[in-house]
Structure 1
Amino acid sequence: MRLSLGKQVTRFWYDVDNKLPTHGENYAVLDGVRGLAVFTVLLSHCGVFNMLGQGGLGVWLFFVLSGFLLSIPFVTEPQRAWSIKYTSKFIARRLLRIIPLYYFVILVVIFPKDKNLFWDHLIFAKADGHLWSLKQELIFYIIMPAIFAIIHSIPKIKPWVISLFLLFASFLLDYYLTIDKFSLVGNGKNLPFYCSIFMLGISTAYMWQHIKSKRTSNVYSKLFTILGLLSLAAFFITSKENRLLISDVLEIDILSNHEYLAWDFPWVFGLSCCILILSVLSSHKSSTLNAIFRNKILRMFGVLGYSMYLVHYFVLIFLQQYGISDNKLIIFFLTLSITFLISCVTYGFIEKPFMRLLGSNRPKSQRKDGL
């Protein structure tokens, strides 16, 4: 189905309410969670609203969310982990989801300035700035089917047992898989392989499989709402500036020796992201928490999340280099606006066509847009 130029550019708005995943139901509310991740990274890089350094928390939320959503097909139909045809297609889909837009961005931004640097990024020998996270994602996507094959080599394990096992395994990976044992180049230095954060997302998928199979009372729904709101608050109150403000008011020291908590304790904050996702899914639709993440504007930014993540940093650098303004708030709103406009185009003309390239495993009768 060929769309007009205008419809192609505004395709994201249609997808806010109508897009369907490759498998299963569409967790529309999680687009709002992805929107939170986008804003957290953007606010951090622009250094506004006391959010400097919280970008790591936004990235952990991206990682946990990816681990969760991509696990659903394997959790609901474990036999897929043993299908070479399915796992091959799974990896191909992930490559087509990430690489085309990434290549386009580095071609436009890096190639004109430094061709050698462009080739290094093309083969992922380098991953400067915010691009470090893409290498982490690609490697984990490749090994992900093997993880499920191992999990389901032992039959008849209850989802909550698998979830707790993966939770413990992720903690061990976070503790023992240090830079000296295995590292990935990123942002001009060696970085740990944050597979433990993705594992938390898989653990969350199994726990959600257990929770949704049970009838949860209003008491549990309210409890999840409270836990979710506390997890959401952590995105803001754990920044260094806000910790110092709270310390002054309460006259206590709150880890002032740590510059950026999310980077120093990735597993802990990754777990907070798990709690947020489970809470959003489990809370009542009329709850404050659910209303926050069902907000259409937040979900819109979530749908455009990948484009906005890739583009925003280069827009920010451009505005800073040309001295557009010394006011951080002005820079933030300009970065947000320009990034949004560019992302509308890249989503409609690059992301969406490649999403359709391999087709869908859903029957056509379930595809609302006929694609």
Structure 2
Amino acid sequence: MSLFQNLKSELIRKPNSGKHLPFVDGLRFLAIVPVIFQHANERLFKYGNLPELKGWEEQVSFLISRGTIGVFIFFAISGFILSLPFSRENSKLNYKTYLKRRWQRIEPPFIFWMTCCALILLVMQAYPIGELLWHYLATVTYTHQLFYQEYSIINPVAWSLEVEIQFYLLAPFFAFAYFQVRSLAKRRSLLIAGIFGWILLQHGMGWHLQPWKATLLGQLPHFLVGVLAADLYQKPVKWIRDFRFWDLVFSLLLLTLAYTWTEELGKTFLFELSLLGLLLSAIYGRYTSRILSLSWISIIGGMCYTLYLMHLPLLEGYYSFIARFGQWSGYIGQLSISLIIVLPIIFLCSVIAFRWIEQPFMKKKDQKSLRSNPIGKQVLSKA
């Protein structure tokens, strides 16, 4: 076996249930890459010395700035993965096992990387030690938004993990109750009405604005779209499954997401429809599913948690360093050359960190309890 094959075998996601859905990791790849590009673009503007952008360069920068849609794709994937096992007949709920597995899977790497970020800020003397300590404690307990109503100074991307945790705590109860409704038409109609009703409530209560939009109140529809996609995946609707143009609309849906991520009510409805369509394209698109399931795409998507936690500090350090060289090209030139250099650095560091820091916590800790609990096997292995 070649070195590449050995590396591939080590890095490919191996769920405890034994059932791997490569297109899901492909969707994770699709989610993490725009986020990295967006943050790289922001750091270039933050630290770089750029000339005035031309019209087409402004459009390129705008599209890259839409990278936050990757976070919303992550939310939908979580809704899909965490609810999918409950869509099966005779599903059971073991909340204790569920919480135990979630803690073992996500908490140790999270604490490790947040501690590293805090120590870097401490060495840099960026904040007084007392202030830094309180922000650190709020970050690692997923309560920073609750206490500070702003992104964490330890690592700003942690805001979305706070939202994820809020959903994780509620997901088993919601998914179990939802799939207890045996009538497909009834439960799907109720869920669709719930998604659009919640959007109306968000805009009426102001939950789509800060500080509420950085909580589950502001992000719940994305997760519910994932639940609906899981239902349609497990029990397909014939006309959806047989639709011939999923591959064609996939790219159009991505662009629609980019241009409908706003605070406007009408565009928010269209955003959620496009998000559902994107998931269905990944499931039923003949070529889209194959592309997303390619091994290298699936591997990168499978280590998205490490990439998400690591990429911003690396980008901060890199772009603050190259800023010392001043203006050495136009916007496209600086962005392209800087990405050619920094992306391999990010992915190499993430491969190492994924293999030795995150992956050990993805392994089964309690064979007997998970073997006796099919929901534990199916849900909890797909963090």
- The TM-score, its normalising length taken from structure 1, stands at 0.75
Aligned residues of 2:143 and 2:162 also touching (Cα < 8 A): no
- Where does the alignment leave 5 or more consecutive residues of structure 1 unmatched? 1-6, 240-260, 367-371
Select the residue among 245, 252, 257 that pairs with 1:230: 252
Question: 1:351 Cα deviation (Å)?
Answer: 1.6
Aligned residues of 1:30 and 1:277 also touching (Cα < 8 A): no
Q: Identify the residue that residue 193 of structure 2 maps to in structure 1.
A: 168
Secondary structure of 1:110's match?
helix
Question: 1:35 Cα deviation (Å)?
Answer: 0.6
Distance of 1:25 and 1:164 partners within structure 2: 29
Secondary structure of 1:322's match?
helix
More helix by share: 2
Aligned residues of 1:201 and 1:274 also touching (Cα < 8 A): yes
Alignment of 1:84-99 (within 5 A): 86-99=94-107
Distance of 2:118 and 2:343 partners within structure 1: 21
Name the aligned partner's letter for residue 105 of structure 1. W
Alignment of 1:5-84 (within 5 A): 13-14=8-9, 19-23=13-17, 25-47=19-41, 49-50=60-61, 51-77=63-89, 79-80=91-92, 83=93
Judged with a 3 Å threshold, the aligned counterparts in structure 2 of structure 1 residues 87 and 211 are, in CA distance, closer, same or farther, namely same
Alignment of 1:196-211 (within 5 A): 196-211=221-236
Select the residue among 124, 132, 141 that pairs with 2:142: 124
Name the aligned partner's letter for residue 253 of structure 2. S
Judged with a 3 Å threshold, the aligned counterparts in structure 2 of structure 1 residues 295 and 24 are, in CA distance, closer, same or farther, namely closer
Name the aligned partner's letter for residue 30 of structure 1. V
Question: 1:22 Cα deviation (Å)?
Answer: 3.9
Judged with a 3 Å threshold, the aligned counterparts in structure 2 of structure 1 residues 112 and 224 are, in CA distance, closer, same or farther, namely closer
Question: 1:151 Cα deviation (Å)?
Answer: 2.1
- Where does the alignment leave 5 or more consecutive residues of structure 2 unmatched? 43-59, 122-131, 145-150, 328-333, 378-383
Distance of 2:143 and 2:22 partners within structure 1: 35
Judged with a 3 Å threshold, the aligned counterparts in structure 2 of structure 1 residues 357 and 272 are, in CA distance, closer, same or farther, namely same
Name the aligned partner's letter for residue 234 of structure 1. T
Secondary structure of 1:52's match?
helix
Distance of 1:188 and 1:203 partners within structure 2: 22
Aligned residues of 2:314 and 2:346 also touching (Cα < 8 A): yes
Distance of 2:240 and 2:161 partners within structure 1: 37
Q: Identify the residue that residue 341 of structure 2 maps to in structure 1.
A: 334
Post-superposition CA distance 1:158-177 (Å, at most 9, x none): 2x542332122122222214
Secondary structure of 1:53's match?
helix
Select the residue among 270, 273, 276 that pairs with 1:274: 276
Distance of 2:224 and 2:240 partners within structure 1: 25
Distance of 2:300 and 2:139 partners within structure 1: 26
Judged with a 3 Å threshold, the aligned counterparts in structure 2 of structure 1 residues 202 and 311 are, in CA distance, closer, same or farther, namely same
Secondary structure of 2:171's match?
helix
Secondary structure of 2:363's match?
helix
Judged with a 3 Å threshold, the aligned counterparts in structure 2 of structure 1 residues 96 and 54 are, in CA distance, closer, same or farther, namely farther
Distance of 1:188 and 1:276 partners within structure 2: 22
Select the residue among 158, 170, 176 that pairs with 1:143: 170
Post-superposition CA distance 1:211-261 (Å, at most 9, x none): 18x5988xx2523223334224435xx45xxxxxxxxxxxxxxxxxxxxx4
Name the aligned partner's letter for residue 170 of structure 1. I
Alignment of 1:159-198 (within 5 A): 160-177=185-202, 192-198=217-223
Name the aligned partner's letter for residue 183 of structure 2. I
Distance of 2:239 and 2:256 partners within structure 1: 29
Distance of 1:165 and 1:188 partners within structure 2: 24
Question: 1:282 Cα deviation (Å)?
Answer: 1.4
Question: 1:310 Cα deviation (Å)?
Answer: 1.2
Alignment of 1:278-357 (within 5 A): 278-284=280-286, 287=287, 289-324=288-323, 327-357=334-364
Aligned residues of 2:40 and 2:315 also touching (Cα < 8 A): yes
Aligned length: 322
CA RMSD of aligned residues (A): 3.5
Question: 1:148 Cα deviation (Å)?
Answer: 2.4
Question: 1:266 Cα deviation (Å)?
Answer: 5.0
Greater Cα offset, 164-173 or 67-76: 164-173
